[in-house]
Structure 1
Amino acid sequence: MAGTSGTAGPTEQAPPREPDWEGVRLHVVSGKGGTGKTTLAAALALALAAEGGRTLLIEVEGRQGIAELFRIAALPYEERRIATVTPAQLGLPGTGHGEVHALAIDTEQALLEYLEMFYKLGRAGKALQKVGFVDFATTVAPGVRDVLLTGKACEAARRKGPDGRRRYDAVVMDAPPTGRLTRFLNVNSEVAGLARIGPIHSQAQAVMRVLRSAETAVHFTTLLEEMPVQETVDGIAELRESGLPVGGVLVNMVRPPILDAAAVAAADGDHREEVALALGEAGLGGRSRKPETVRANVDPLLEPLLEQAREHAERVELERSQRVDLQQLRLPTYELPLIGEGVDLAGLYRLAGELKRQGAA
């Protein structure tokens, strides 16, 4: 399976793979809450920029998660550079000096921008803002809000500079969670009942042309746990039914192997005597040579160790079964390591290196 790192977990010394997503300019990242969606979207943006590219990382939920990750002030409604990146920073060979820019889309500002662009409202638009029209419009017609949010990302993905070149080599959108994703992306059907002609209708169609094109890929973040994997499977099925392009699966927080296969298999049995003997031989029974003294010192350690071994064996079996479910999707799959005490900037760059190494960027 393309991009997968197998059952042994991420391998930091593996040589980089060829990228799986050549030609994709808009990477949409979704996933169940708690799977690290924003973190992996940011890591993907870094990985895509590593060899001298320029990426735009877009946040659409108003949580300022990007600012928190990069340890910067809250992002305004404007594109600004938040990071630079080189292959060396990701632990990879190569040259280049890339940039990551970020944008936190404010729905209110996006609607005012839209009204100015298509209707030339200017000051009248600000007056509408004061009387609460903007909140009313986006609450009563959430499809309009989604057109504005997705439209901004699609515009950025296709925007060109004065020299005729694309402003950004790639755009990464930190999208809503899996449960709301298909409705969020399928803006054409969401606004069909609101506007069958006019600028909103045209904008929705333009957005869908980008979202359904080969320039877009929708990636899913998950953990090797039942609920996130099932939500991923369901989300991918919904996306396929809607004709939207499915990308890869980013498996986050993969634990490193602790016991080998034989030890995992043995953990289910009753091995108190063997473990007690091994602990004694390792010197954990104290200095005394008397068997009864050694055993008295070892016994308090036995049950906690055996319980941990059983829990680990159960976890390994759960992860194995979830990997089987993910393999049946037949999609490129990338495994990212569990980073102990949360992800700091160093950890973010480490994850970006893993994504680059495994061919996600």
Structure 2
Amino acid sequence: MTGKGGTGKSTVAAALALALASTGKEVLLCEVEGRQGIARMFDVEPLPYEERRIARGLPTHGVSPGAVHALHIDAESALLEYLAMYYKLGRAGKALDRFGVIDFATTIAPGVRDVLLTGKVYEAAHRNARNKNARKYDAIVLDAPPTGRITQFLNVNGELAGLAKVGPIKGQADTVMTLFRSPRTAVHLVTVLEEMPVQETVDGISELRGADLPVGAVIVNLVRPRDLGVADLEAVRSGDLDRELVTADLQAAKIDVTHELVDSLLAEASDHAERRALEDAQRRIVQSLDVPSYELPRLASGIDLGGLYELAASLKEQGLS
């Protein structure tokens, strides 16, 4: 899951994980940006570098809900695990961490950092008898970096071309790419109906396709209520909205009507009509992208665990699960 900052990609990733769990799947929800966003959304303690069950899916008639497990992946812990796995360093690896070598390595070579982060996701997707006592998942949802960096983040072997042409790191990058370019992966993009996020979505889809990475769907988030019908919107835009009719409706609702109140409501209606016109123009662009699109409402009460379940139910009803 990717998207321009501020579009709610982390929220949508969490909602998708819950929607998948509601179909009976065991789901792993991963984050790689170091903000502990999953912990805040699900109101749990900050996540360590280990998998924790944090929620169950929505109860569904005839289907036992699965669970959502979460994993906070950081490059330093992933590198220590990598060193222990490939070089049997064990305590020596932790000593390197104390000397700051790990931070140095992942700072000067961002491509290596991304290989480590994505490599952990790959490991979770390919567990077998060698991964003793490790949980197997039906689906993995990755709360990935924003759209502006998503192709670079996922195209790890391309980013390593000038750094490592052979060796374990290069081998791991090539292996990860077999997953990211396979039909098992879909990169979903989150946007809102504003010009800059939609344009970044258009550009992101083009870049992903240029790197042979599979584009999934566009999820339009924070959609405002459509309170006025088409005829009323046209009347507002043309200035033909019947002021007397508005006054009569207010009086029928037993509201004390003043000229100031009616003027204020008509001004609000004008702003709403203008906003709807802009949103409809951006919606047409999204619908022209030749990818499936879904919409999620702006929740008046904000996002808490109940709100996540509400969004999950909407995604499930629309078929994205």
The two structures have a TM-score, normalised by structure 1, of: 0.84
Distance in 1, matches of 2:58 and 2:43, equals 19
Query: Residues 142-193 of structure 1: CA distance to partner in whole angstroms, max 9, x if unpaired?
Result: 1000001111112211223589998000000000000111111110011111
Structure-2 residue corresponding to 1:56: 28
Distance in 1, matches of 2:180 and 2:272, equals 42
Query: Residues 298-346 of structure 1: CA distance to partner in whole angstroms, max 9, x if unpaired?
Result: 3212321111111111111111111110111111111111101311111
Structure-2 residue corresponding to 1:112: 80
Structure-2 residue corresponding to 1:19: none
Aligned pairs (5 A) from 1:136-215: 136-160=104-128, 167-215=136-184
Aligned pairs (5 A) from 1:1-361: 29-88=1-60, 93-160=61-128, 167-271=136-240, 274-276=242-244, 278-280=246-248, 282-283=250-251, 298-361=258-321
Q: Any idea what SS the aligned residue of 1:121 has? A: coil
Distance in 2, matches of 1:303 and 1:251, equals 32
Q: Any idea what SS the aligned residue of 2:237 has? A: coil
Aligned CA RMSD, in angstroms, stands at: 2.2
Structure-2 residue corresponding to 1:23: none
Q: Any idea what SS the aligned residue of 1:103 has? A: strand
Q: Any idea what SS the aligned residue of 1:220 has? A: strand
Shift of 1:280: 4.7
Give the aligned length.
320
Instruction: In structure 2, list runs of 5 or more residues that go unmatched.
Output: none
- The structure having more radius of gyration, on CA atoms, is 1
8 Å Cα contact 1:284/1:298 also seen in 2: no
Kindly tell me: are residues 298 and 61 of structure 1, through their superposed partners in 2, closer, same or farther at Cα, counting changes over 3 Å? same
Shift of 1:70: 0.2
Kindly tell me: are residues 281 and 38 of structure 1, through their superposed partners in 2, closer, same or farther at Cα, counting changes over 3 Å? closer
Distance in 2, matches of 1:126 and 1:163, equals 23
Greater relative contact order, per chain length (Cα 8 Å cut-off, separation 6+): 1
Tell me the percent identity: 58
Kindly tell me: are residues 85 and 281 of structure 1, through their superposed partners in 2, closer, same or farther at Cα, counting changes over 3 Å? closer
The two structures have a TM-score, normalised by structure 2, of: 0.94
